Chains A and B, each alone.
Chain A
Amino acid sequence: MALLELREESAGYNGETILHELNLTIVPGERIALVGESGAGKSTLLHLLYNRLGARAALMPQDSALVQALTVFHNVYMGRLHERSVWRNLRNLVLPSRADVDEVRDVLAPLRLQDKIFSNVGQLSGGQYQRTALARALYHPGRVIVADEPVSSVDEHQAREILTTMNGEKETVLLAMHDRALAIEFADRIVGIRDGRIVLDEASNGMRPGDLDDLYRTTDP
């Protein structure tokens, strides 16, 4: 049973078509990396997938998009805003409840963020910041994670940690990545995009970064 199926789909915004005649089927348990030049349409495709998945998926947007004025707890708690009543949300905004704090701390512990639970996210280092964004997605009950460049702003060590956790915690992983080596290492299926079309869709097994060079060949004069 497929999780999601695109048949001859096009997408874009402001009246401009960015993705053309896409065919893509995703089954639960897959770990898919979208690769391609910036501007090729990775983000657009990712958002198309996220919109189709709805509440089944957690999103890690490109710039992490944490709420600067809030603490780590609040940002992570946001992963379940939709499951809770407004009153419970309001209460947790003003005075976090013990039960919810414990829940969030359990998510933060494997990411080594439990000590930072009541720090403002503005004070975090780049890696901690990114891990907080991951924690929010992990706290989201959806079994799918849609992540747009989740490791572009952290060093390789941290990137591996984040990707490993992601793979371990979520059933299905949909990533947009520009780091080809990491994509091949952590995804089991590579979808290559160029000029808004899927030009490659293969298992990552045995693939080498050089195999993806075609996707990046400059065509502009």
Chain B
Amino acid sequence: MTLKAIIVAVAVAAMTALSAGQASAAEKFVFTAIPDQDESALRKRFDKVAKYLSTTLKRDVAYVPVKSYAAAVTAFRNNQVQLAWFGGLSGVRARKLVKGSTAIAQGKADPFFETYFIANVSTGLTLSKDFPKAIAGKTFTFGSKGSTSGRLMPEFHIRKAFGKVPQQVFSRVGFSGNHSRTVALVQSGAYEVGATNFKVWKKGLANGTIDPKKVRVIWKTPGYPDYNWSIRGDVDKAFGAGFAKKVQSALLSMNDPDLLKSFPRASFIPAQNSDYAPIEATAREVGLID
């Protein structure tokens, strides 16, 4: 009868699982990245980075894709990844959760990152120097709920300009999920206005996925610190003394234009936790961290 078969199978399965769990001690250096834009492209990009780090660090390095910013932070927190390419906000969150973890590198553009407010041409809005108050009453989409450039900074500026939460300013507020989706949704008219990462915008313009006849930039935020590579504090213990330093220098010496272009960053420069203090303060003000 089946019952017996099931019991046997479950027992065997449990034993296999246990032995597999014990065999997992093989130390592999694993990293992830926030899924901030086209995910299928992300995978190819970071597999290349993994290969680069493998060669440079002379050990097994793997990239694991995740579906959300929060999943990236959780993986970092639970030591399922030891290194991550975070946004400003996710980096702050992750480092708060993992004692001793540090930001070790950032893109050359990252200390002065910007968010672009973009609008469908049907709104008639055009680029302005001051915050475009005319967006009130329109439909608006952020990027991911946990994004710095797609959520935190635009929400901060919206609250500052109107003294109200976005839900009270706009007729509809959405979260597209990532920056390329935000652009696509505003371009298609699903939302009238949106906020996106300026790097993704420029890349889209360059490779032709953005149609300037349908969507345009209407405001650029002042600069703020954003993306960063953060590493856990216990990697030296796990992978040998000076490992964090080695990873940092590997990242800083990355000069293959093909690799850098995919981020897209001109190069990586050193970073430290205190660089992101303004982000933490803003997040606290907006109420995204307790």
Binding site for B on A (CB under 8 A): 93-94
Q: Mark B1-19, 1 if CB is under 8 A from A, else 0.
A: 1011000000000000000
How far apart are the CA atoms of A94 and B7 in the complex, in Å? Answer: 13
How far is B1's CA from A114's CA once the two chains are assembled, in angstroms? 23
Compute how far the CA of A93 lies from the CA of B1 in the bound complex, rounded to whole angstroms: 9
Return chain B residues, CB-CB under 8 Å to A94.
1, 3-4
**What A residues does B1 contact at CB under 8 A?**
93-94
Listed in ascending order, the chain B residues whose CB lies under 8 Å from chain A are 1, 3-4
C-alpha gap A93/B2 in the complex (Å): 12
For the complex, give the distance between the alpha carbons of A94 and B8 in Å: 14
A-B residue pairs in contact (CB < 8 Å), sample of 4: A93-B1, A94-B1, A94-B3, A94-B4
Interface of A, secondary structure class, is helix
The distance in angstroms between the C-alpha atoms of A211 and B237, with both chains bound, is: 104
- Top-4 shortest CB links A-B: A94-B1, A94-B4, A94-B3, A93-B1
- Cα distance, A201 to B4, chains bound together (Å): 55
Bound form: Cα–Cα A93–B3 in Å: 12
Task: Kindly list chain A residues whose C-beta atoms are within 8 Å of the C-beta of B4.
Answer: 94
Residues of B within 8 A of A93 (CB): 1
**Cα distance, A213 to B99, chains bound together (Å):** 98
Q: Which residue of B lies closest to A94 (CB)?
A: B1
Distance between Cα atoms of A94 and B6 in the complex (Å): 13
- Docked Cα-Cα span, A93 to B4, in Å, equals 12
How many Å from the CB of B219 to the closest CB on chain A?
73
Find the B residue at minimum CB distance from A93. B1
A163–B46 alpha-carbon span in the complex (Å) = 85
- Docked Cα-Cα span, A94 to B2, in Å, equals 9
A71 to chain B, nearest CB (A): 12
Q: Could you tell me the distance in whole angstroms from the C-beta of A89 to the nearest C-beta in chain B? A: 14
Nearest CB to that of B1 among chain A residues? A94
**Chain A positions within 8 Å of B3 at CB level:** 94
Task: Give B3's nearest chain A residue, CB to CB.
Answer: A94
| A69 to B: closest C-beta gap in Å | 12
A96 to B85, CA, bound (A): 63
In the complex, what's the smallest C-beta–C-beta distance from A46 to chain B, in angstroms?
36
CA distance A94 to B4 in the complex (A): 9
- Give Cα distance in the complex from A166 to B128, angstroms: 104
Cα distance A94–B3 in the bound complex, in angstroms: 9
User: Nearest-CB distance from A215 to chain B (Å)?
Assistant: 50
How far apart are A32's CB and chain B's nearest CB, in angstroms?
A: 42
Distance in angstroms between the alpha carbons of A173 and B4 in the assembled complex = 41
**How distant is A74 from chain B, measured CB to nearest CB, in Å?**
12
Q: Closest CB-CB distance, B2 to chain A, in whole Å?
A: 10
A157: min CB distance to chain B, Å: 38
